[in-house]
Structure 1
Amino acid sequence: MILEKILDPQKYISHHLNHLQIDLCTFKIIMPGTFSSHFWVLNVDSIFFSFILGSFFLIIFYIIGRKVTQNVPSKLQTSIELIFDFISTNVNSMYQGKNALIAPLSLTVFVWVFLMNLMDLVPIDFFPFISEKVFKLPAMRIVPSADINITLSMSFGVFILILFYTIKMKGFIGFLKELTLQPFNHPIFCIVNLILEFVSLLSKPISLGLRLFGNMYAGEMIFILIAGLLPWWSQCLLNVPWAIFHILIISLQAFIFMVLTIVYLSMASSKSHEN
């Protein structure tokens, strides 16, 4: 179904939008077009590629770190040093205070999200063809950041850090004061303040995850539409320019996710105001 001529573009597009899913209650693969009656369903392809890309990032940076030299560096070492300088400059300019976790976290977020986004440039039929013909799998999607479960999971991790540093720096009482005494500093408005601040607090991880998902899903969808609706001889005329432009989107989305992570943690780590 992948590279064969498909007369119905709708089937081709829907096929490429299906995840490789496993029902954790029955441990069976969910076939495309069917739905599980259970809640616990895993998108195995997104988890697998997220793990592979994260491991690739850690291994490469670990090897270069062990072989770092003060003499003439290799091209790969130079590239990694440029990434380190780029991350360090942004952290120093946006994060107020000192925290040994922020720079490594920012580096991890930027590189990991960038690698996940970069999978969008792989030809859309390549991995699905291999998975179907070699491993007999019914579906395969390879862009983890185009899966809302992955992006919201990452943003939820950032949200946990926001709560942790807010309570650590301001105390639990100070955290409650922020929720109940802002923006209207009067006890009579406690409920109103709580509703407003809770929505504002909850919007941070939701917007962080949805922004990345929306942009990457849209980019993937355009590649699928080009492949599914146009004849093969005209696809390169649109695929190549869109892929070149998409490189900017890939980098920009990774940068935005990193910057917002730093900004949110900087706000959480700032000292409380007197009310």
Structure 2
Amino acid sequence: MATDAELTPTGYIQHHLQNLTLSVGEGGFWTLHLDTLITAVIMGLIIVVAFWLGTRKATAGVPGKWQAFVEILLEFVDRQARDTYHGSSKLVTPIAITLFFWILMMNLLKMVPADFIARPLELLGVGYWKPVPTADVNATLGLSISVFFLTLFFALRAKGVGGLSHEFLTAPFGKWMMPFNLLINIVEWVSKPISLAMRLFGNMFGGEIVFLLIWVLGGAGLLGALAGGLFGLGWMLFHILVIPLQAFIFMMLSIVYLSLAEDTH
């Protein structure tokens, strides 16, 4: 719950950056970020229901406004996936659609002031609630690790265990440099999900801090409120571009990794 320390700007920001957690196992070995998990699931369900409503009465004739809008969105992602991925798998477009729209929905929560979500929950006894899942590194790492295992699956499907092992040991410097090849390939494969996660997390977390700073400025009298409103509007307009862009970059890099996994070096 809120304390007197949170009346200070530092305490206020720290309060809104703290997750609602649940410790599992002996000694709290496994800590779940409940707000991240619950919000991510809710955002995923919202986009599923929204798309279902747009397609449940789909017609080949003149579509309704929502059906047309959903078709435009799906065709856009499908076109990007087809232009980037050069393999034969039919899973790539569904993967791209899931990643892009799920991340987009989670990012969009950044446009809602933190107090609009946290304060009503505090009245219900929930002390902490970090509203943007992608501002939690656990969420972005979860997404990127999923992409990593999909990349591994695509590579094994295309090359087999023997082919992938041979590539790890012989590319890019040939069989006489096996230790160096193995080291380079391990670093390359491990760095992909880490950079994928950190790029999304860094942009969303940094944006969240700036929003909180502007919100704090808005509470510093009339002049602060005017400055906070002006800066807040500018930062919000900037994030109208950042929010879909980060979802798009995550999706496109994931497709590139899946495509590269099937290429033979």
State the alpha-carbon separation in 1 of the partners of residues 233 and 258 from structure 2.
38
User: Of residues 151, 154, 172 in structure 2, which corresponds to 1:165?
Assistant: 154
Structure 1 runs of 4+ with >4 Å offset: 4-7
Q: Deviations over 1:129-172 (max 9, x none)?
A: 01101x21110011011110010001101100111111111111
For normalisation by structure 1, the TM-score amounts to 0.90
Higher helix share: 2
2:238 aligns to what SS in structure 1? Answer: helix
1:233 aligns with 2:221: no
1:61 aligns with 2:51: yes
Which residue of structure 2 lines up, in the alignment, with residue 191 of structure 1? 179
Letter paired with 1:213: F
1:91 aligns with 2:109: no
State the alpha-carbon separation in 2 of the partners of residues 5 and 241 from structure 1.
29
Which residue of structure 1 lines up, in the alignment, with residue 118 of structure 2? 128
Letter paired with 2:200: L
| CA root-mean-square deviation | 1.9
1:5 is displaced (CA, Å) by 11
Letter paired with 2:168: L
Which residue of structure 2 lines up, in the alignment, with residue 31 of structure 1? none
Which residue of structure 2 lines up, in the alignment, with residue 247 of structure 1? 240
Q: Where do 1:90-129 residues align within 5 Å?
A: 90-129=80-119
2:103–2:134 contact (8 Å) kept in structure 1: yes
Which residue of structure 1 lines up, in the alignment, with residue 203 of structure 2? 215
State the alpha-carbon separation in 2 of the partners of residues 22 and 71 from structure 1.
51
Aligned-residue identity in percent: 39
Letter paired with 1:171: G
User: Of residues 253, 256, 260 in structure 2, which corresponds to 1:260?
Assistant: 253
2:217–2:225 contact (8 Å) kept in structure 1: no
- CA gap of 1:7–1:104, structure 2 versus 1, over 3 A, is closer
2:167 aligns to what SS in structure 1? Answer: helix
Q: Which moved more, 1:228-237 or 1:41-50?
A: 228-237
Letter paired with 1:15: H
Unaligned ranges ≥5, structure 2: none
1:7 is displaced (CA, Å) by 4.4
User: Of residues 67, 71, 78 in structure 2, which corresponds to 1:81?
Assistant: 71
1:47 is displaced (CA, Å) by 0.2
Aligned length: 260
State the alpha-carbon separation in 2 of the partners of residues 24 and 176 from structure 1.
37
- CA gap of 1:7–1:84, structure 2 versus 1, over 3 A, is closer
Unaligned ranges ≥5, structure 1: 27-36
Letter paired with 1:241: G
For normalisation by structure 2, the TM-score amounts to 0.93
1:6 is displaced (CA, Å) by 5.7
User: Of residues 155, 168, 176 in structure 2, which corresponds to 1:179?
Assistant: 168
State the alpha-carbon separation in 2 of the partners of residues 180 and 97 from structure 1.
24
